[in-house]
Amino acid sequence: MSIKNIKAMTMVRKDRFLPKWVEYYGSQLGRENLYVFFDGEDQPVPECCRGVNTLLVPKMQGNVVSTERQRSRFISEKAREVMEAGADMVIATDADEFLVVDPALNMGLAEFLSKLPDHPCHSGLGVDVLQHLPTEGPVDFSRPFLEQRSRGWLYSRYSKPSVITRPLTWGGGCHRVKGQNFHIAKDLYLFHFGGVDLEHLREISADADRVKNGWTRHQLKRSRAIDKISRVKARPWDSLVGPVRTMQTLCRPIFALNKPTTFGIRFVATIPERFRKII
pLDDT at 213: 61
Q: Mean pLDDT over residues 228-242, rounded?
A: 95
Cβ-Cβ contacts under 8 Å for 41 (sequence gap 6 or more): 56, 57, 58, 59
pLDDT of 205 strictly over 70: no
What DSSP designation does 173 have? Answer: G
Containing 48, the helix (H) or strand (E) segment is none
Alpha-carbon gap, residue 92 to 165, rounded angstroms: 12
Q: Report yes or no: 109 and 28 within 8 Å, Cβ to Cβ.
A: yes
Is the per-residue pLDDT at 109 higher than 60? yes
- Residues 148-202 pLDDT 10s: 999 999 999 999 999 999 999 998 888 889 888 889 999 999 999 999 998 888 8
pLDDT at 170: 93
pLDDT of residue 181: 86
Confidence band (pLDDT; 50, 70, 90) for 220? Answer: confident
3-state secondary structure (DSSP) of residue 274: helix
- Torsion, Cα 139 144 148 153, to 10 degrees, reads 100
What per-residue confidence (pLDDT) applies to 65? 77
DSSP alpha helices (H): ranges in 54-193? 64-84, 109-114, 145-148
Task: Report pLDDT for 218.
Answer: 66
pLDDT greater than 60 at residue 3: yes
d(CA 53, CA 59): 18
Q: How high is the pLDDT of residue 196? A: 94
Confidence of residue 203 (pLDDT cuts 50, 70, 90): confident
* Res. 210: pLDDT tops 70: no
Rounded to the nearest integer, the mean pLDDT of the chain is 92
Higher pLDDT, 35 or 263: 35
Query: Rounded to whole angstroms, how far apart are CA atoms 219 and 211?
Result: 10
- Answer yes or no: is pLDDT of 212 > 70: no
**pLDDT tens by residue, 10-26:** 999 989 999 999 999 99
How far CA 75 is from CA of 35, 72, 143, in Å, comes to 10, 5, 29
- Supply the pLDDT for residue 207: 62
Please state, in angstroms and rounded to a whole number, the distance separating the CA atoms of residues 53 and 37: 8
Q: pLDDT grade, residue 259 (50/70/90)? A: confident
pLDDT bracket for residue 79 (50, 70, 90): very high
Task: Give the list of residues 6+ apart from residue 13 with CB closer than 8 angstroms, or none.
Answer: 38, 39, 40, 43, 59, 209
Burial of 72 (0-12, 13-18, 19+ CB in 10 A): buried
Mean pLDDT of 262-276: 95
Kind and range of the H or E run holding 59:
none
Where along the chain do its domains lie? 6-275
Helices (H), 43-162: 64-84, 109-114, 145-148
